[in-house]
Structure formats: C-alpha cells, structure tokens
C-alpha cells in the first residue's frame, strides 16, 4: 500500500485459503508485510459486552458509516445501538404489514441504506431475507418470483436497469406478482420512471419514494402500506422524529408550505460525526441541520424534497432548484440523463448550466435544449450558463449525482482557458 495512507501493512488481513497442500489447492502466499485472517485466532475468546441500559445503548457506537459525499468529502457518521433499534421500531413495528414480510437484498449490507434492516430486523421480527451475491436485473426478477418476495427497496439505477431489461413487460409483471410494497430511495426518481415501474407492480401494490440519510439510520420518511402516491413526495416523517424548516438565517419558518432547510432530531438520528465538533451540524435544541430543502403540502401533509441547500442556484435574487430543471430536461424524448449546477459569469452572477447525455442516435443541439427550457419555465430559470454535452453524468453507486465532480471539471475548464 502506498505510504501516506496511515494504515500499516500488518493491519491488512488477507482472506487466504487454508494452508493445506494438495495438487489442486497449493497454499496461497501472503503478500509481504500483510497478515492472514487466521492471526485473529491468536487473540483467544472473550464474552460479548452485554447491556440493557438505555443510556449505554444511546452512548455506545454500534457502527460507523460514511455519508454520501455528494456535495463534499464524506463524513464518518456514528450510529449507536439505540439508533439502529429505533430505526427498526419506527419503520417496521409501528407500521405492521398485514402479510408476512420477505425481503430481497440487492444493495451493499455495509451501507446505511441496508444495514439496519438486514442486521436488526431479521433478529427482532424474524423477517426472512434473501441476499444476492451481486445485483443483476435478470437474476433479481427471477429471485423475486422464486422466493415470493413481498418487499423491495430500490435505488434509481436498479429501477432503470429493471425497466431496460429485455424481458417482456408481461413476464416482468409475472415475476413481480408477489411484491406487495416497493420503496425508491437514495436519490430522486422522476415521475415518468416511477410510473413505469409502478406499472410493473401488482394492482394495489404501491411503489413510492422515501427520504433517508446515513444520519437518520436509513428511513426518515415514508408512506406506510397500503398508501400510494404518484406525485413524487417522500411521504411523512416517522413517529417520534421532530422536524422543522429553517430559512437562510437559520430561523424556523412559520409556514412549512414554503421551502426551507430541514432540521431533524429523534431516536434514530446520529449523535454526530467522527472528528467533527457537534455544534457545527446541530443547533442548540439538538436538531441536525441536514442541508436538504423541503416543503410540506398543506392539503395532504406530504413532504417534498426540493434540492440540496448547497446546490440551490441564486439567479439575481431568485432561488432556482436544479432538481426542477433536471426534471423538465428528462421529459425531452432525446435526453437520456441530465444534471444542472450553478456557475458564475464574469460579473459574479450565478446562472444555471446543464450537462446533457443524449440518447443513442439522437441529434440534439445546444439551442434545442435551451428552447425546451425556455418554453416551459420562467426566464430566470433559463440555461444562461450554457449547455454541455457529456457521455455520462457522474453518480454514486446509489444514483446520487456527484455535482462536486462537475464543479471540479468546471474549475479545470477555467484553468485550461487561462
């Protein structure tokens, strides 16, 4: 390992084969300086630390998860035993299903989106879990049918791959006929994609979107079975979670139908990050400032994500949400993918710029994209920061657009011009 990573070679464990010499199984050679996993056996045995005290469970870290790092470097999030148990209780026990829940796991079990429900729920409630070695859309569909899966949690790249798989639509419906509830999370799904996947689900089986964060031990909001929604909301917040919306000055909004930054506290919310002072991200009342801009519909009580606070574009005093522009762009028949960021012109005015992935064999020019937006949105939302055509939009494994990489590319572009 290169010097400077701060990890001694002896701390790297190699999962080598047993040291048995056979013609077809020669002993593996350990890389110089590394250790075999069997060195762990030299430490002997000891009893598990056991406790049933609430204070201890709140203060004892059970796991460390990295945040997504979409707008900056990932932060190492501390989740306690209490956080994980609370997540299960609020997300599953408070909303019991009228059927035996059986889940198919096709996301990494070391990620906060999956770990609480795969490590806690089976032990607490006996939920059967079928775990895939790696995700493959065809195998995923087949396993849904083979194991009579009832519950799915999907990220946008999985939804898109399932829709694009060459199996006929009628066959997909047949393979998914046991599914009673599906959630989409980790990144927003556009209305068209959500509707297309909903069409594959059995009648009466909703496919809705949720809001979750590493910092909330996964789910923060959802719509419980059998509630349905096709408006793009993330449902309602889980019981015992306190939320408020803040203005640009950190003051609580009185009208939650106006977009504001979400602040949240509750039993499933982290106590903080490793190496980061708590006061940087939490207010005096113990609310975590999430950096997400949301609003609540007064009539339905449903919540909607507008965008990340850091990603909002301020055009001559007007707030522009990149997510809104991206949604309009993705409605274009010739656009496969899109991302919007704010750039500053020579006068220091922030303007929207779009990065576009054309669909295969489609002829689409900069003017076509600009006109598409101009015919549908107010003038201050136009793409005055230009349009760039790219081969791919950089995304995390869960489908979140890595806009910091687009900004880094923008800086490199400016340096090249200089």
Got the DSSP string for 365-413?
-HHHHHHHHHTTS-GGGS-TT-EEE-S---B-TTS-B-HHHHHHHHHHH
Neighbour-count burial for 125-137, b at 16+ CB within 10 Å, e otherwise = eebebeeeeebeb
Q: What is the pLDDT of residues 227-283, one digit of tens each?
A: 999 999 999 999 999 999 999 888 999 999 999 999 999 999 999 999 999 999 999
Interatomic CA distance for residues 223 and 300, integer angstroms: 12
**CA-closest candidate to residue 290, choices 242, 343, 231:** 242
Give the pair of three-digit tokens for residue 380.
């201050």
Q: What are phi and psi of 38, to 5 degrees?
A: -70, -15
- What pLDDT is recorded for position 417? 61
Q: Largest Cα–Cα distance in the chain?
A: 75
Give 218's strand partners.
Answer: 213
Given the candidates 3.40.50.80, 3.40.30.10, 3.40.1790.10, 3.30.300.30, the CATH classification of the domain at 312-417 is 3.30.300.30
SS3 sequence of 294-361 = EEECCCCCCEEEEEEHHHCEEECCEEECHHHHHHHHHCCCCEEEEEEEEEECCCCCEEEEEEEEECCC
Interatomic CA distance for residues 8 and 6, integer angstroms: 7
Interatomic CA distance for residues 134 and 414, integer angstroms: 40
Give the pair of three-digit tokens for residue 75.
């932060």
CA quadruple 35, 37, 42, 43: dihedral sign: positive
- The segments of the chain whose pLDDT lies below 70 read 1-6, 16-32, 68-73, 317, 398, 414-418
Interatomic CA distance for residues 288 and 282, integer angstroms: 4
- What pLDDT is recorded for position 162? 95
Interatomic CA distance for residues 262 and 292, integer angstroms: 6
Q: What is the pLDDT of residues 245-260, one digit of tens each?
A: 999 888 999 999 999 9
CB of 82 within 8 A of CB of 128?
no
Interatomic CA distance for residues 405 and 414, integer angstroms: 14
Interatomic CA distance for residues 352 and 321, integer angstroms: 9
Residue intervals of the chain classified under CATH 3.40.50.12780 are 54-308
- What pLDDT is recorded for position 348? 75
- What pLDDT is recorded for position 58? 93
- What pLDDT is recorded for position 3? 44
- What pLDDT is recorded for position 128? 92
∠ CA 101-102-108, nearest 5°, is 125
For the 54-308 domain, the top CATH level (class) is alpha beta
- What pLDDT is recorded for position 17? 58
Which DSSP symbol is given to 11? Answer: G
Interatomic CA distance for residues 224 and 219, integer angstroms: 12
Neighbour-count burial for 191-203, b at 16+ CB within 10 Å, e otherwise = eebbebbbebbee
């Amino acid at each position: 390992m290169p010097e400077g990573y701060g990890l001694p070679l002896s701390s790297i464990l190699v999962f080598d084969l047993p040291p048995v010499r056979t013609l077809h199984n020669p002993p593996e050679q350990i890389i110089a300086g590394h250790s075999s996993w069997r060195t762990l056996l030299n430490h002997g045995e000891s009893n598990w630390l056991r406790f049933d005290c609430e204070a201890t469970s709140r203060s004892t870290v059970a796991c460390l998860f990295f945040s997504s790092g979409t707008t900056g470097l990932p932060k190492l999030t501390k989740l306690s035993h209490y956080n994980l148990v609370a997540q299960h209780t609020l997300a599953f026990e408070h909303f019991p299903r009228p059927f035996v829940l059986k889940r198919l796991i096709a996301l990494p079990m070391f990620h906060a989106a999956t770990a609480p429900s795969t490590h806690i729920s089976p032990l607490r409630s006996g939920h059967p879990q079928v775990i895939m070695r790696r995700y493959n859309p065809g195998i995923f569909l087949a396993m849904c049918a083979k194991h009579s899966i009832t519950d799915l949690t999907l990220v946008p790249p999985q939804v898109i791959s399932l829709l694009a798989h060459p199996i006929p639509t009628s066959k997909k419906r047949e393979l998914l006929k046991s599914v009673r509830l599906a959630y989409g999370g980790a990144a927003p799904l556009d209305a068209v994609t959500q509707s297309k996947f909903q069409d594959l689900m059995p009648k009466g089986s909703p496919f809705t979107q949720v809001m979750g964060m590493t910092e909330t031990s996964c789910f923060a909001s959802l719509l419980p079975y059998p509630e349905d929604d096709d408006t793009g909301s993330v449902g309602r917040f889980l019981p015992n979670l306190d939320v408020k919306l803040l203005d640009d000055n950190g003051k609580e909004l009185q009208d939650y139908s106006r977009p504001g930054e979400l602040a949240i506290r509750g039993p499933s919310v982290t106590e903080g990050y490793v190496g980061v002072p708590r006061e940087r991200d939490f207010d005096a009342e113990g609310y975590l400032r999430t950096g997400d801009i949301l609003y609540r519909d007064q009539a339905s009580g449903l919540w909607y994500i507008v965008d990340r606070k850091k990603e909002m574009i301020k055009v001559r005093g007007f707030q522009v949400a990149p997510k809104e522009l991206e949604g309009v762009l993705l409605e274009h028949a010739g656009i496969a993918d899109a991302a919007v960021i704010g750039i500053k012109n020579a006068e220091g005015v922030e303007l929207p710029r779009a990065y576009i992935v054309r669909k295969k064999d489609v002829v689409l020019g900069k003017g076509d994209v600009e006109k598409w937006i101009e015919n549908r949105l107010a003038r201050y939302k136009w793409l005055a920061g230009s349009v760039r055509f790219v081969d791919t939009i950089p995304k995390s494994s869960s489908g979140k657009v890595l806009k910091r990489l687009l900004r880094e590319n923008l800086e490199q572009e400016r340096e090249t011009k200089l």
